[in-house]
Amino acid sequence: MATLENTMAFLDRSPSPFHAVAAAADLLDQAGFTRLEEGSAWTLVPGGQYYVTRNQSSLIAFRLPSEALMAWRMTAAHSDVPTFAVKGDRLDGDAKYARLSAEGYGGMIHYTWMDRPLTVAGRVIVRTKAGVESRLIYLDRDLLTMPSLAIHQQRDVNRGHEFNGQKELQPLYGLSGGKSLTALLAEALNVAESDILGRDLFLCPRQKAVRIGAEGELFQSPRIDDLACAYATLEGFLNAGKSAKLGQIYCLFDNEEVGSGTRQGAKSTLLPDVLERAADALHLTGEQRRMALAHSMLLSADNGHAVHPNFPEKADPANRVYPNGGIVVKYSANQKYTTNGVTAGLFRAVCDEAGVPVQIFANRADEAGGSTLGNLLTQLVSIPMVDIGMAQLAMHSAAETAGSDDPAHMAKACEAFFRKEFVQTADGVYAF
């Protein structure tokens, strides 16, 4: 269960997108990858392995082939989760209470955030002698909560409740008169309050990743969607090792939960920029670049909904997926997912060869599903793609649940995918 344990450790280390990228970068450093900076010249060599970050919240790692490039093998996951962004130290209101000012980020299940210990994580921008510097911050303490209104004061609460974000979802920081959040941040970073120039902070649950079930067959944690895929695809990428003919790319994008339309999102130029600079280093002509893309493939890794034990009718009758049932291949008739018969068949062949089980997911015909990274990336890098994930429960809850075997399924499938040499011999035809 090493992959599960490593996945859970990654989840615990990643209370914000900035921490997730830092955790991924640390694993890449340990594996001998060279860090690049977008604002510096890149010196790339065949067989080299590199990574670059943008906004500290998105990352692309890649290996160049040692011989002539045949194709790219890519995976993409996202670093962000639905949460609350901290807007300010204090929300005006009752003089006896101190509350932070917060705003929802993405679509979370609101009631799951109530009455649980919370804290803040993200980054703080500080003044230095040389200029300014961004520093990661995680206040490792039970700091905040969002208290529910007692049932005695809302007798109909169990019949359903619609939350008002400005009124009900502002975190209680304590009683008035204590240290401000800015003061706590300054103490943690050993800087003066006046040297804090900016910050990007989010609320995060204090719960750690744990195994549950009679046999530990499930695990529960905040941020399983999508950091479990972020870790498992990275493990597969690292375990695959170098390839003589394949360029291998691991992507971790921010802001998927709010549409990806940012400088660091999947709709940004980050992946095209990396591909262009890599192709320049390999001295590829325009014709060679296009040929390589035609032979390439990307796995868009984001989780899918397992059949719910209490609401089985919510699952599509013909396509029902379960935890530990294997990798979920996701279809959408309205093209919210990139999977088609050819890309699914090709991925299925790779999984069959690797001994990894696969299950098929589609939404009910009367319920619209969410979109993910693939259909956004394909507008910028037009290559064959397939949307995959793990089957999970309580997606977008403050704590989610998934199968203990599935991170290993994902990692093993990605390892095989990054190694597999296949080419498109004709439109819709591939040869191994």
Domain boundaries, the chain: 2-81+222-431, 83-205
- Indicate the pLDDT class of residue 374, thresholds 50, 70 and 90: confident
E-strand spans in 144-185?
172-175
What is the spatial distance between Cα 361 and Cα 389, in angstroms, rounded to a whole number? 10
The backbone torsions φ and ψ at residue 60, rounded to the nearest 5 degrees and listed phi first, read -130, 125
Inform me whether the pLDDT recorded for 63 exceeds 90.
yes
Inform me whether the pLDDT recorded for 371 exceeds 80.
no
| pLDDT tens, position by position, 131-162 | 999 999 999 999 999 999 999 999 999 998 89
Nearest in space to 71 (alpha carbons), one of 428, 344, 349, 419: 419
Once rounded to an integer, what is the mean pLDDT over residues 301-316? 96
Inform me whether the pLDDT recorded for 369 exceeds 90.
no
| pLDDT tens, position by position, 208-237 | 999 999 999 999 999 999 999 999 999 999
Model pLDDT, residue 177: 85
| pLDDT tens, position by position, 159-211 | 988 999 999 999 999 998 889 999 999 999 999 999 999 999 999 999 999 99
Tell me if 398 sits within 8 A of 222, measured CB to CB: yes
For 138, 172, 177, 364, the CA distances from 142, given in Å and listed in that order, are 11, 12, 18, 40
Model pLDDT, residue 94: 79
Fold that domain 2-81+222-431 belongs to in CATH: Aminopeptidase (3.40.630)
| pLDDT tens, position by position, 379-405 | 899 999 999 999 999 999 999 999 999
| pLDDT tens, position by position, 313-340 | 999 999 999 999 999 999 999 888 999 9
Model pLDDT, residue 321: 97
Inform me whether the pLDDT recorded for 10 exceeds 80.
yes
The Cβ of residue 127 has, within 10 Å, a number of other Cβ atoms equal to 14
| Bridge partner residues of 387 (DSSP) | 300, 330
Model pLDDT, residue 132: 96
Fold that domain 83-205 belongs to in CATH: Aminopeptidase i, Domain 2 (2.30.250)
Please give the mean pLDDT across all residues of the chain.
95
Nearest in space to 79 (alpha carbons), one of 19, 129, 126: 19
Once rounded to an integer, what is the mean pLDDT over residues 276-301? 96
Model pLDDT, residue 370: 75
Nearest in space to 246 (alpha carbons), one of 87, 60, 65: 65
What is the spatial distance between Cα 303 and Cα 309, in angstroms, rounded to a whole number? 18
Model pLDDT, residue 250: 98
Inform me whether the pLDDT recorded for 93 exceeds 80.
no
Model pLDDT, residue 270: 96
Inform me whether the pLDDT recorded for 347 exceeds 90.
yes
Once rounded to an integer, what is the mean pLDDT over residues 355-384? 89
Model pLDDT, residue 234: 98
Model pLDDT, residue 341: 95
Encoded tokens for 306: 């397992």
Tell me the whole-structure pTM to 2 decimals: 0.96
